[in-house]
Amino acid sequence: MFAQVLSHNDPTALLAEPGVLAVVSFEPRCEATTTLGNIPVGLNALSGPAYEVIRYGQSPAKRGTLHDCQWNEIDDVLCLSTWIPEAECDHIGTATEAAYLRLYRVLEARGFSQVFRIWNYMPNINSGEGDSEEYKQFCVGRQRAFDALALEPQDFPAASALGHHSRGAVIYLLATRHAGQHHENPLQQSAYEYPREYGPSSPSFARATSMTLGGEKQIFISGTAAILGHATQSPGDIDEQLKITIANIDTLLAGVAAVHSPLQAVRVYLRHEYHLAAAQEAMALAHPHAEVTFLLADICRANLLVEIEAACLAQSP
Ligand code: 3EB
């Protein structure tokens, strides 16, 4: 489903190819463009490709805009995006709630009820004290929308939520028409059951979602960090946090599929650029065949230095 592109001057040519659902652009701006299917996310790549191509099937994509969202469809898969302008990010809770509500309105209008992966990128994610921290207010807004949509915790899809150093926020997602399965990690408390100390609303996401798409079982692993139970491990220690994060992904995957393909579309989010070499080394050892993009990003807990997400295919043993 995912392919990485090393260098390209313009995603327009890619988007015209059959089977190209969308192109995620790792570039400093985070705002809608008139090139439907191009998703600039405001994150800077430290190493790895500047674009990630989301491919599906063989048909040309259909694209359009509705309710301030951009949609892209190939067969039974929809990629949907919406941006929150800079000024509205001053009230990230209410802006997030409105953004989720318009995304789900478009899902309904296009006939796609089953969301299986969501990405959330926003500015200043760790700004604000206590319950006013931007990430916690984002969680409040997302949960309000899910409450209004009557979405239960067992229906929450896999997700990532990171901070960038750009202006504006983006939420984009993948959806289909048939239900998938959501998975939790035995080493981690479900995020939607985190205790009150992490904020007024628990984070609404599953650790992974799996789906049969085009006859193959795809596994989407949420952003994963050095959290055991609900507690951050080894604050300040990048090597330990990398080790625990990678082990969390291994344990999660073992529970989803006995055998799986090498990891695809891996994003390693690093709070500090100077941790790049340590992260590259850890990934080369643990997942030598994975396609990895290293991105500069703020993780949603101030004491986390790294977060890793990936996708892969389940294989019959
Ligand atoms: C964690 O495990 C780390 O709020 O959507 C990872 C993936 C994290 C998704 C989200 C948050 C989210 O709690 C943070």
CB of 143 closer than 6 angstroms to any ligand 1 atom? no
Written as six digits, the tokens of 69 are 């969202």
Reported as a single tens digit per residue, the pLDDT across 30-84 is 999 999 999 999 999 999 788 999 999 999 999 999 999 999 999 999 999 999 9
CB of 225 closer than 6 angstroms to any ligand 1 atom? yes
Which protein residue has the closest C-alpha to ligand 1 atom 9?
A: 160
H or E stretch covering 133: none
Residue 214 CB neighbours (<10 A)? 13
Written as six digits, the tokens of 147 are 């409450």
pLDDT value at 140 more than 80: yes
Ligand 1 binding pocket mutation candidate from 146, 222, 268 (most atoms within 8 A of CB): 222
In angstroms, the CA 30 to CA 25 distance is 9
Q: For 305, which DSSP code? A: -
Indicate which CATH number applies to the domain containing 196.
3.30.1330.40
| Residues constituting the chain | 317
pLDDT value at 7 more than 80: no
H or E stretch covering 231: strand 231-232
Ligand 1 centroid–CA 31 distance in Å is: 23
In angstroms, the CA 232 to CA 221 distance is 19
Pairing of strands 306-315, 264-270: antiparallel
Read off the pLDDT band of 192 (50, 70, 90).
Answer: very high
Ligand 1 centroid–CA 294 distance in Å is: 18
Collapsing DSSP to helix, strand or coil, 53 comes out as: strand
Q: What percent of the chain has pLDDT over 70?
A: 98
pLDDT value at 10 more than 70: yes
* pLDDT of 6: 61
CB of 141 closer than 6 angstroms to any ligand 1 atom? no
Total count of domains within the chain: 1
CB of 270 closer than 6 angstroms to any ligand 1 atom? no
CB of 294 closer than 6 angstroms to any ligand 1 atom? no
Cα within 13 Å of Cα(276), Cβ side: 13
Amino acid at 4: Q
Span 247-264, average pLDDT: 96
pLDDT value at 317 more than 80: no
pLDDT value at 8 more than 80: no
Ligand 1 centroid–CA 29 distance in Å is: 23
Reported as a single tens digit per residue, the pLDDT across 112-123 is 999 999 999 999
Catalytic residue, candidates 52, 73, 134, 307:
307
- The residue ranking higher by pLDDT, 5 or 229, is 229
Q: Among this protein's residues, is 307 annotated catalytic?
A: yes
| Atom number in ligand 1 closest to CA 191 | 13
Cβ neighbours of residue 302 closer than 8 Å, sequence gap 6 or more: 126
CB of 249 closer than 6 angstroms to any ligand 1 atom? no
CA-wise closest residue to 296 among 127, 119, 163, 173: 163
Q: For 233, which DSSP code? A: P
Ligand 1 centroid–CA 240 distance in Å is: 19
CB of 203 closer than 6 angstroms to any ligand 1 atom? yes
Written as six digits, the tokens of 116 are 């299986």
* pLDDT of 49: 82
In angstroms, the CA 173 to CA 102 distance is 12
For residue 293, what are the domain limits? 2-315
Ligand 1 centroid–CA 191 distance in Å is: 7
Which protein residue has the closest C-alpha to ligand 1 atom 13?
A: 191
Which residue reads 């463009």 in tokens?
Answer: 33
Ligand 1 centroid–CA 241 distance in Å is: 15
Q: Which of 44-48, 227-231, 238-242 has the lowest mean pLDDT?
A: 44-48
pTM of the model: 0.97
